[in-house]
Amino acid sequence: MKKIIVAIDGYSSSGKSTMARDLARRIGYVYVDSGAMYRAVTLYALRHGMVVDGHLDIDALVKDLPEIGISFRAAGDDGVQHTLLNGEDVEKEIRTMEVSGMVSPVAAVPEVRHRLTELQRGFGRDRGIVMDGRDIGTTVFPDAELKVFVDASAEVRAHRRVKELLEKGEITDYESVLANIRERDRIDTTRKESPLKKAEDAVVLDNDRMTIPQQMDWLMEKFAERTKNN
């Protein structure tokens, strides 16, 4: 069967990554978390003193871009794919609230987007890939055969993220997570360079009231529809 590209876009904490990872596992495709790549660049900027009082030194970051290597290590015993920054496993470090607080300004820098888009296209060269993010169906793979746009209310998304952070042992509170989600939605949808928006040919999944197994059934059905004539 000919392999396709599955692009899953949507708002932060809408459950895209869980869906995308589970789908890739079930259909034997490669999964790429494009948000992890923006998070790794953000971690680099934080570690190199490029954020002072919440302000990003864009020039310094752009200058260092050729030095920033991002790759992935296949899922191990924990079933999770790990993100590597210049060879170092930073999977845990990129999920903190500190990184979440700066990632959208970093992701709004055009040079950062160009570099990561190029890397992402490289991952999809042979198709057979599920990638999730904000601009996968619109900019990275406008020719993806299956495009999904995931939506859920900010409150539901904040509850999910608090639960996830607590499970990882990070102390946090609902109000600050909700504020971060709203702020990232605002920056992601209003930035000039490939803002978050639904691709015209994307199918919408509103998963406010759906369980994970329900949304997986929905997604498998869409995948089967798109591949049945291949």
- Give the binding site for ligand CDP (CB under 6 A): 12-13, 17, 34-35, 38-39, 103-104, 107, 133-136, 184, 188
CA distances from 210 to 14, 18, 131, 152, 205 (A): 11, 13, 21, 10, 10
Nearer to ligand CDP, 4 or 32 (CB): 32
Nearer to ligand CDP, 179 or 227 (CB): 179
State in angstroms the smallest separation of the CB of 152 from ligand CDP.
11
Distance CA(68)–CA(200), nearest Å, equals 33
The packing angle between helices 174-190 and 154-167, to 10°, is 120
State in angstroms the smallest separation of the CB of 109 from ligand CDP.
10
| H or E segment and range at residue 213 | helix 212-227
Nearer to ligand CDP, 104 or 215 (CB): 104
Nearer to ligand CDP, 166 or 224 (CB): 166
State in angstroms the smallest separation of the CB of 11 from ligand CDP.
7
State in angstroms the smallest separation of the CB of 133 from ligand CDP.
2
**Quick check: helix, strand or coil at residue 91?**
coil
Closest CA to 147 of 162, 163, 135: 135
State in angstroms the smallest separation of the CB of 185 from ligand CDP.
8
Q: Characterize the bridge pairing of strands 82-85 and 70-73.
A: antiparallel
Nearer to ligand CDP, 91 or 225 (CB): 91
State in angstroms the smallest separation of the CB of 230 from ligand CDP.
26
Distance CA(157)–CA(17), nearest Å, equals 13
Secondary structure of 8-71 in HEC code, one letter for each residue:
EEECCCCCHHHHHHHHHHHHCCEEEEHHHHHHHHHHHHHHCCCEECCEECHHHHHHHHHHCCEE
Nearer to ligand CDP, 29 or 35 (CB): 35
Residue of closest CB approach to ligand CDP: 35
